[in-house]
Amino acid sequence: MEQTQATEMAMQHLQQLVDNIETVIRGKRNQIKYILTALLAKGHILMEDNPGTGKTVMAKTLAQSISGAMGGDSSVGFKRIQFTPDLLPMDLIGSHIYDEDKKEFVFKKGPLFTNVLLADEINRASPKVQSALLECMAENQITIGDTTYKLNKLFFTIATQNPVEMEGTYPLPAAQLDRFSIKIIFGYVDETTELEIYNNYLGIANNLQHIQQVLSMQEILNLQEQAEQVTIHEELVKAVRNIVWETRRHPEIILGASTRSGINFLKCLKAYALVNGRTFVTEDDIFDLTIPVLDHRLMYRNKEAKANALPGILKTEMDRLHKLRITQ
Amino acid sequence: MMQLKQYTFRKEAALYLLLGLPTIAVVGYAIFEANQYFSFLQNGWRMQTLEFALGMLAAFSLFLRRFRFLPISLVLLAIVAGTGLLVETQLTGEMDAYFWSVKFYTAALFFGTGWIAGYGFARARFFSVVWSVLLLAAMAVVVATTASLQSNMVIALYAPTLAYSFYIIYISELLRNINTREPALFWKVARRMLGFMALMILLIAGLLYWLKPQYEGVEKEWSQQQPKEGNNKGSGMTHNDGSGTTTNQGMGLSAFNNKANKDSVVFVAKLDNFFVDGKTPNPLYFITDYYSKFDIETQTFEVDSLRPFNDLFSPDVSQIPLFFTKQDTSVLYSANNGRMRRTATVEVYKKQLSARLFTAPSTAYFVQPISVPDENKDVYRSAYRAKMMVSELNSAYFVYNPAGAQWLEQFQEERFRILREAPDYSQTNAAFMQYYTSMPYGEEYDSIRALAASIVTETGANTTVDKAIAIRDFFMRKDENGQPTFKYSDNPGVPGIPSANKLTYFLFDNKKGYCAYYAGATLFLLRSLGIPSRIATGFMTIDRSNKNPGWYWFYEDQAHAWVQVYFPGYGWIDFDTTVPDAEQQQAPQPDQTPPLATQTAWLVANGTVVSKDTAAKKVTMQLEKMLYWDQPYELNPTQPWLMDVSMAKITHDTGVVSLSALEKGQQIVAVSYANTFKEIEPTEADNATTLLQRFPTPAPIDEIKIMLTEEEKAALDKQAVPDKPTDWNAVWRNLAIGTVAAIVLLLAFPWLIFRYLRLRAATAGKPATQQYWRYLSMMYYLHQMGIEKTGLSPVQFARQQVDAQFGTQLESFMQVYQKLKYSKQALNSRDLEIAAACYPSTLHTVSKQLPFKHRFSHMLNLRRSISFFSKPSLYAS
């Protein structure tokens, strides 16, 4: 009973969160869900698209919704780093600075020591910086010299990147992309929504200024725990296994998905179900998540394969599930 | 790389087992069937199936790898052509060049067919459909040309092929999409195979059970690996139809076939043909047909209904009213047989013989159906009397059975002496000679000619009869060990005169055969000597009785084939060259008591009933014609005629009936055996009217037979097996009906599946099961209507493709179903309500919004419904 109540509560909170974000970001419900999925799955998200599609605003809104407008102590910390080619690792993690008073070097924490980090245009920084960030994301800790600094318990990175083809970018290596639970293409809004935004941009900007904090840090941590409790049917676990295996076997895929990505897939599925107001995973979740979760981890033989291979695998698995007869 | 190998190996294994084996089996069956009817195949179905299998497997294994069809096939073709050329040149002049080259080309044909089939299965996606259609068409051809077409028999023949077609289409689709890495793959496949096999066994067992009462033979055939034999028009003797009669087509050609029942009497005959002593019966062979024309295409002798100088009298006895006669004296003219002939009569009592059939010694010209005596009605179905001009030189005792009887030897010597003095053929009609001595040219015929010449030279025979005797002796020769060179063999062959290459094989190599082989070979030998001759088929007559001289019993195994030789002036004389069967230990059947002799029917009258007086037992009929003292009289105009029927037995087709069954307007035949009529002898001056005046009034009548009306006749005809060659109209009609039925069934199949799914949804007990069937039936319906869920998730599909288009509530159903499927929670009452409401409304709304034409045409699409059930394809984009 308690469990159910907690779940109900969690769902309510999530709904509030989504609604809150929607006051600022229009027509991006799916993207919001993916971001929340990554958050609840204790992962990180990478958003890719052309500049000006609302990636940064989205990240900011989310951060503010859970941290309040520019924070307080009990609330969630939010930092934003704009990645540039001349950025250095120490700009991220911090550095030892000589303290004149104490006559020693003290560590000055960089922007990574926060809860929600917006890493804007991540692929414009040099590989050195990229790998510094991604390592932190993976380990949740930073080691400088002899000292290891723990990052916060809640550490969520929203990274954005411009399409790889654009000039002045350092593409992220596949191994590093693997650190992101989900990668989504942000995309333009549809025509109607676009018009709505034009008509109302002042109001929207205003909304951004006055975004309400709807969730506390503790609540987020609770939600993450709730996500772990979501039921996933054996057959769906099998489906995840099948999809992962197929990516390894597919003749057009050079590098398939790892076991780690499979585990991550499961986590995301559970979180996504919760975000959608369910306490159980369904085929729909697999359908929605396979590409955002797996696509960026795979290396394809050519462009055509990139377009077709994973959807083909997914289709097969969906058709298998569709005919599956499961009775309780 | 290792993985890839594994992958192809498993898939290949599955292809060999699931596609290859059944295909080879079915094709083997088809080849076996074809061998029964196409003589050029030379009874080598095992070898031919092997050739097909080799071709197919070779193509399979090559084309599953990335070989290209054209270059490899061209190389193959070149090899075949080269070998063919080699065979032709190497074997020239040798005895069996033809034999071997035919063998080679059939081998090439079957290998090629297998090759193409293998390629098709390995590469072409819809080949299974094409292949099924081709196979069905081939089966249709075999069925249409061979079976005497009872509709259920057609189904029995079609069913395996049809079932195979379904199977092969399904399995090839399954294999195409199979995920070979799936765990427990082979178990899954094996399950399907077992299911299919069980279905087949059920089907075949059901068919057999169903057909058993009508076709006792079917069972026998299956057990003897000789499917269809009993159904084959050629082996009419062993074929019983529903009415228990026997047909006559190709009679005798399967004679001594071990399948002919020795205990089964076909008919009984009383032949009044005796030797000069007037006491010793002289049996004569009974003839049903002549094979006289060589057919170039099939390389065999065939019945020629247009034969010149036709001396075959073959009326349809069942069409002649009882006691009425039919005669055709033109056959006597054609028989051209003035010398040593006399008229003989025969009475034939039919037991299993078809009512229509007429068989008698040559040369018959007269037939009169007679009634079977009451006492024997349950044994014999019908009877007729026939007259013929028989030759005094003719006898069944021709060749090898003087049996030491001196009088018989004397008779034979005497008749050979007479025949030796018969004039030569110089005066014989040229067209006649040309027709009855025609024989094709060619290597193998030349070898027969050489053989005939050597036989004649060796024996120094110079008259026709001596040549015939020399040929007989040739077949009777013994080798150095005292063993006969030619043997009798029941070699199960297909009835019909063997084709030329079979005969050469028989003459020069095999030297084993049954009567048709001896007759066929003798005919070639005779004709190559320029002796006009032909094959006669019918019944061998064996005199076994010393109790009832002149009575002969004919059993099924007495069906026979022999030759007839023409002697100018004496006509056609029977010659039988078949050697005795050394292994046959047939004890002579003790003949039973013959039927009682029929009384003489003095008067037979035919007309329509006008009135009847049941109390006084008097009937008036409008007399149309009558037969008095065997003389026909016509009444013109017809006259009313009063009959006294107090003593009369009234019969209908169904048996004896009472007087009340006689109704106004019925056609009847009245027969009188009364002595009154014996005393009124007709004179030359009498005509029908004067005779009637001399008859007593009312006229005493002993028997009245009610004639069948046209409808009744038609109904009876339906029951009887047509014993005309082949009723092509019926063939095509049945074929058309069968095909249409199959097509309709095929087309209705998707709809039937839909009904089945709905039925399951309606009758499911547990709510969970019910949702499953509801889900399936909705998805199936939408799929069938062209709204396919290709790779979308259920909810997405419902939302984007169904609800958006039709305004239905499918999405909410999907959510309920997903919950049911994956949540491990029970559905609450709200969920169930939603599901119950969505299911009918979705189907209803969708069907209402689609035009009928669309629904109809889409529902017929079988391929679409197969694709619903087949496995999804692996890497399709």
Check residue A273 and give its pLDDT: 92
Phi, psi of B577 (to 5 degrees): -110, 5
In the predicted model, what is the mean pLDDT of residues B293-322?
Answer: 78
Tell me, yes or no, whether B31 and B103 share the same domain: yes
Residue B95 lies in a domain: yes
Domain ranges of chain A: 2-228, 230-328
Cβ neighbourhood burial of B853 (10 Å; 0-12, 13-18, 19+): exposed
User: What number is the average pLDDT over the span B324-339?
Assistant: 77
Confidence label for B240 from pLDDT (cuts 50, 70 and 90): very low
Is B65 at the interface with chain A, CB within 8 A?
A: no
Q: Quote the tokens at residue A5.
A: 């109540």
Name the band, by pLDDT with cuts 50, 70 and 90, for residue B404: low
Put simply, the answer to whether B796 touches A284 (Cβ < 8 Å) is yes
3-state secondary structure of B673: coil
Between chains, do A316 and B872 touch, taking CB under 8 Å as contact?
Answer: yes
Hey, are the CB atoms on B821 and A282 less than 8 Å from each other?
yes
Find all residues with CB under 8 Å of B743, minimum gap 6, and list them: none
User: How many angstroms separate the CA atoms of B251 and B171, rounded?
Assistant: 45
pTM of this prediction? 0.48
Residue B401: other Cβ atoms inside 10 A:
13
B822 and A328 within 8 Å at the Cβ level: the answer is no
Q: What is the pLDDT of residue B238?
A: 32
Residues B550 and B642 in one domain: no
Q: Calculate the alpha carbon distances from B171 to A47, B126, B136, B191, B204 in Å.
A: 45, 12, 18, 12, 20
Say whether pLDDT at B160 is over 80. no
Asked if B16 and B74 sit in the same domain, the reply is yes
Q: What is the CB neighbour count within 10 angstroms for residue A100?
A: 7
- Mark whether B768 and B822 lie in a shared domain: yes
Window 150-189 of B, Cβ < 8 Å to A: 179, 181
In a domain, B584, yes or no: no
Is-contact B168 B22, C-beta < 8 A?
yes
Number of domains in chain B: 4
**With an 8 Å Cβ cutoff, are A315 and B823 in contact?**
no
Q: What stretch of H or E contains B705?
A: strand B703-706
Q: What pLDDT score was predicted for residue A182? A: 93
The string of DSSP codes covering B403-455 is TT-HHHHHHHHHHHHHHHTS--GGGS-HHHHHHHT----SHHHHHHHHHHHHH
Does position B877 have pLDDT exceeding 50, yes or no? no
pLDDT at B194 over 60: yes
Dihedral in degrees, nearest 10, Cα atoms B695, B696, B699, B700: -110
**Same domain flag for B345 and B462:** yes
Interface test with B, best of A319, A320, A321, A323 (most B CBs within 10 A): A319
Q: How many CB atoms lie within 10 A of CB B873?
A: 17
Which residues are CB-contacts of B542 (< 8 A; sequence separation ≥ 6)? B283, B396, B552, B558, B588
| Nearest-5° Cα angle at B508, B507 to B511 | 55
Average pLDDT over residues B781-792: 82
Tell me the C-alpha distance between B845 and B4, whole Å: 48
Give A188 to chain B, closest Cα distance, Å: 20
Q: Where does the pLDDT of residue B729 fall: very low under 50, low under 70, confident under 90, or very high at 90 and above?
A: confident
Question: Residue B237: is its pLDDT beyond 50?
Answer: no
Span B495-506, average pLDDT? 72
Contact A158, A116 (CB under 8 A): yes
Average the pLDDT over B575-582 and give the result: 76
Q: Are B700 and B118 in contact (CB under 8 A)?
A: no
Query: Residue B92: pLDDT above 90?
Result: no
Position B260 in a domain: no
| Residue of B730, B727, B657, B631 lying closest to B356 (CA atoms) | B727
Distance in angstroms (rounded) separating the CA atoms of residues B383 and B264: 18
Same domain, B157 and B93: yes
Pairing label, strands A45-48, A182-185: parallel
Question: Within this chain, do residues B765 and B858 fall inside the same structural domain, yes or no?
Answer: yes
Note whether B384 and B367 are within 8 A (CB).
yes
State whether B634 and B672 are in the same domain. Answer: yes
Q: What is the mean pLDDT of residues B490-514?
A: 71
Q: Which residues of B touch A309 (CB under 8 A)?
A: 875
In a domain? residue B297: yes
- Residue B792 to residue A236, Cβ atoms within 8 A: no
Q: Which residue has the higher pLDDT, B322 or B73?
A: B73
Q: Calculate the average pLDDT of chain B.
A: 76
| The pLDDT of residue B234 | 34
Cβ neighbours for B374, distance < 8 A, ≥ 6 positions apart = B649
Show residues of chain B in contact with A30, CB under 8 Å: none
In this structure, the number of other CB atoms found within 10 A of the CB of residue B31 comes to: 22
> What is the complex's ipTM, to 2 decimals?
0.81
Give the pLDDT score at A69: 44
What 3-state DSSP class applies to B171? helix
- Look at residue B7 and tell me whether its pLDDT is greater than 60: no
Q: Any chain A CB within 8 A of the CB of B772?
A: yes
pLDDT (0 to 100) of residue A183: 92
Among the CATH numbers 3.90.1170.50, 3.40.50.300, 3.90.1150.10, 3.90.550.10, which is that of A2-228?
A: 3.40.50.300
Higher pLDDT, B93 or B328: B328
For residue B424, what pLDDT is reported? 81
In a domain, B622, yes or no: yes
Report how far residue A186's alpha carbon sits from residue B49's, in angstroms, rounded to the nearest whole number: 64
State whether B184 and B135 are in the same domain.
yes
pLDDT digits (tens, 9 = 90+) for B201-234: 787 677 667 655 544 443 343 333 333 333 333 3
HEC states along B740-769? HHHHHHHHHHHHHHHHHHHHHHHHCCCHHH
Which residue stretches of chain A have pLDDT < 70? 1-4, 67-76, 164-166, 327-328
Query: Which of B766, B795, B874 lies at the smallest CB-CB distance from A284?
Result: B795
Instruction: Provide the pLDDT for residue B157.
Output: 65
Best of A322, A323, A324, A325 to mutate (most B CBs within 10 Å, chain B): A322
**Alpha-carbon span A209 to A202, nearest angstrom:** 11
Q: For residue B496, what pLDDT is reported?
A: 63
Q: What is the pLDDT of residue B621?
A: 87
Range in B66-70, B101-105, B208-212, B845-849 with the lowest mean pLDDT:
B208-212
- Which range among B335-344, B440-449, B539-548, B595-604 has the greatest average pLDDT? B440-449
| Whole-number Å distance between alpha carbons of B607 and B499 | 51
What per-residue confidence (pLDDT) applies to B187? Answer: 72
Q: What does the DSSP assignment read for B608-620? A: EEEEEETTTTEEE
Give the architecture (CATH level 2) of A230-328.
Answer: Orthogonal Bundle (1.10)
Q: Over the stretch B665-724, which tens digit does the pLDDT of each residue have? A: 888 888 888 888 888 888 877 888 888 888 888 888 888 888 777 777 666 665 554 444
Assess if residue B744 is contained within a domain.
no
The answer for residues whose C-beta is within 8 angstroms of residue B568's C-beta and 6 or more apart is B336, B422, B423, B424, B425, B427, B428
B565 and B660 in a common domain: no
Tens digit of each residue's pLDDT (9 = 90 or more) over B43-81: 677 888 888 999 888 888 888 777 788 888 888 888 888
Q: Which tens digits make up the pLDDT trace of A190-220?
A: 888 888 888 888 888 887 777 777 877 888 8
**Does residue B217 lie in a domain region?**
yes
B462 touches chain A (CB under 8 A): no
A316 near A283, Cβ under 8 Å? no
Domain limits for position B307: 265-575
